[in-house]
Chains A and B, each alone.
Chain A
Amino acid sequence: MSVDLVTRTAAELRDQMSAGEVSAVEVVGAHLARARAVDTEINAFLKLMDEQALDHAADIDRRRAAGEALGPLAGVPLALKDILATAGIETTCGSRILEHYRPNYDATAVQRLRAADAVVIGKTNMDEFAMGSSTENSAFGPTRNPWDTDRVPGGSSGGSTAAVAAFAAPLGIGTDTGGSIRQPAALCGLVGMKPTYGRVSRYGLIAFASSLDQVGPIARSVTDAALLHSAIAGPDPLDSTSIPTPAEDVMASLDRGLDGLRVGVVAEFMGEGMAEGVRARVTEAIARMEKLGAEVVDVSLPHVSYGVPAYYLIAPSECSSNLSRYDGVRYGMRVDGDTAEQMMARTRAAGFGAEVKRRIMVGTYALSAGYYDAYYAQAQRVRTLISRDFSKAYERCDILVSATSPTTAFPLGEKTADPLAMYLNDIYTIPSNLAGAPALSLPVGLDDQGLPVGLQIMAPVLAEPVLFQAARALEADLGFDPTPRGPNAVTAPS
């Protein structure tokens, strides 16, 4: 019974619950039990919310019995990245400095999930302040990949992706500043989507790099990811960067197929540095798209190789400013000092981990007197050129494709000593953040080690419908099985 429930998609669970075949309490209970059992192996959750989740599920069952109208995700369990504010519930952002922080309010995305009647079962682990590509930078220990528990799940949304891959929840929420939804989705064999910048409200999303951060869905199927995106997308008066028009309908066109779509293969993303197993699956997936009726063309993004350098000026600069709020005064931890400055400097030195300190230092340097024009301002202009490259490419095609990540999941500890090597994980994902455009990672097979490979599909600003449409067609053709398997895989549901 519970095996049956935890392996279902969100859409299936929703239909079973609305048909009265199973209650929300049963569905949520089965996922909480699975989450607790599996978390000793993967450490995906920072907090499981048994009591709140079961109360919430009971309320949904009661409302259903009373004939009330319910939201589109009624009773569906969800794993929430611990970067989104939840009223009265610890929100740590993976950092010691916020270890006991309880926000006074819910993030807009959390309010919308509640309005959709989704049930948050727990807050998930992440790289501290979303800075990382492996979830090893969490102050609360690393998360492990359900496909091979000696390997990383990717990051920074590695807790949410590990939870969904391990069947602890059918849906997960992540955030993506340079690839933090798409890269862990790729490494865990899942669908993950970064919406257009401004499409999902950032209100209550703890800020890392404000001009890049975006909330998005994680799921085991394209349809589930589209359902989750639909629940959270839309304008919000509490976020001045929120796009004021209503969200695009991503469900109506989901089954329109690939026939006639023009697919651009980004030449710069097919060069050296990509693992052979990744290249093989990506090349095959592109061939399948052609077979399904897509017109495949080669395109060039001439400035895209400057994406990672520009990102590692823009993101640290914005983070150094955003994280100045952690000063030991209004919330979070404090280490005492004789003066205000000493208290702040000691608090921040004790509260932040190594990667966060490193990025604050890079950003502070890049914004300091005499360097602003050469670094931050120059990077913002390069960003414009990358956006223009995308616009030019979209004159000839509807979507672009590449690998999501140059490698499959790597062993824990392999890249922690070399920050630059870790940064290059995001070489294919960063340009979409810089352009503010949507992009999705779809699992397209396994490499010769049995580890998942993700295909990245990119689209113009606000073209989310075509992203999901193309992904759904390829998913149906490939029939990828998201069940983790192999000698070091997480224990199967029982």
Chain B
Amino acid sequence: MSLTVDEVRHVARLARLALSDDELEALRGQLADILAYAEKVGEVAVDGVPATSHAYPLANVLREDQPRPSLAAEDAISSAPQAEDGRFHVPRIVGEQA
């Protein structure tokens, strides 16, 4: 298992982490070590074995669709780093370079 710095940079972009060159280089080795260890799961034969996502059998937990009070708009934005006119304020997104 080995990774290039470009591969690590690509993953950091997917994860929206603006990492420094030093961090990328350190993570290159650490990710390779951790993934090489985790890849041991590949040794296990799992043909026909279903995946477990929840240990207790629960499916489609439903409730009556009844109106009830919810968080007020001013409370919902009360923790925002930047808000304006009752809305979250973010830098321009439309027209942003991909």
Contacts and interface: CB of A to CB of B under 8 A. Distances in A.
Contacts of B90: 329, 340, 343
Name the prevailing secondary structure of the A interface residues.
helix
9 contacts: A103-B79, A337-B91, A362-B31, A366-B38, A379-B38, A381-B44, A420-B34, A434-B52, A461-B55
A381 B46 contact: yes
Contact of A329 (B13, B19, B88): B88
Nearest to A336: B91
Contacts of B27: 357-358, 361
Range for the number of chain A residues in contact with chain B: 35 or more
B41 A241 contact: no
A374 interface: yes
A320 B15 contact: yes
B47 to A, nearest CB: 9
Interface of A: 101-105, 196-198, 211, 237, 240-241, 243-244, 303, 306, 308-310, 312-313, 320, 324, 327-334, 336-346, 348-349, 352, 357-358, 360-362, 364-366, 368, 374-375, 377-385, 387, 419-420, 423, 434-437, 461
A366 B63 CA distance: 34
B21 interface: no
Contacts of A365: 11, 31, 35
Contact of A345 (B11, B16, B79): B16
Given A340-B92, A384-B49, A312 B80 contact: no
B63 to A, nearest CB: 6
B61 A240 contact: yes
Given A303-B44, A313-B38, A330-B76, 19 more contacts: A104-B71, A197-B54, A197-B55, A198-B54, A243-B58, A312-B38, A330-B77, A331-B81, A332-B79, A334-B82, A339-B92, A358-B31, A358-B34, A361-B15, A379-B38, A381-B44, A383-B52, A434-B52, A461-B56
Given A338-B91, A340-B90, A378-B41, A383 B51 contact: yes
Nearest to A327: B16
Range for the number of chain B residues in contact with chain A: 35 or more
Contacts of A339: 91-93, 96-97
Contact of B41 (A330, A349, A358, A379): A379
Contacts of A197: 54-56
Given A104-B75, A361-B11, A419 B30 contact: yes
Contacts of A434: 52
B78 interface: yes
Contacts of B58: 198, 240-241, 243-244
A303 B43 CA distance: 11
B46 A241 contact: no
A380 B35 CA distance: 16
A449 B56 CA distance: 41
A313 B42 CA distance: 12
B33 interface: yes
- B8, B37, B76: most-surrounded residue (chain A CB, <10 A): B37
Contacts of A361: 8, 11-12, 15, 17, 27, 31
Nearest to B47: A381
A403 B90 CA distance: 50
A196 B17 contact: no
B89 to A, nearest CB: 9
Nearest to A313: B38
Nearest to A323: B15
A241 B19 contact: no
A364 B51 contact: no
Interface in B1-48: 8, 11-20, 23, 27, 30-31, 33-35, 37-44, 46
- B16, B19, B71, B93: most-surrounded residue (chain A CB, <10 A): B16
A241 B61 CA distance: 8
B66 to A, nearest CB: 12
A328 B81 contact: yes
- A244, A362, A461: most-surrounded residue (chain B CB, <10 A): A362
Contacts of B53: 211, 380
Given A339-B91, A345-B18, A384-B51, A312 B34 contact: yes
A330 B79 contact: yes
A104 B54 contact: no
Nearest to A383: B52
B21 to A, nearest CB: 12
Nearest to B82: A334
B67 interface: no
A435 B18 contact: no
A338 B92 CA distance: 8
A334 B97 CA distance: 21
- A332, A377, A420: most-surrounded residue (chain B CB, <10 A): A420
Contact of B50 (A357, A381, A435): A381
Contacts of B38: 309-310, 312-313, 362, 366, 375, 379
B32 to A, nearest CB: 10
Contact of B56 (A104, A196, A419): A196
Nearest to A333: B81
Given A361-B17, A374-B42, A436-B54, A381 B49 contact: yes
A11 to B, nearest CB: 30
Nearest to A364: B15
A448 B25 CA distance: 41
List 9 A-B pairs, minimum CB-CB distance, nearest first.
A436-B55, A380-B51, A331-B79, A334-B81, A381-B46, A345-B18, A349-B18, A364-B15, A309-B40
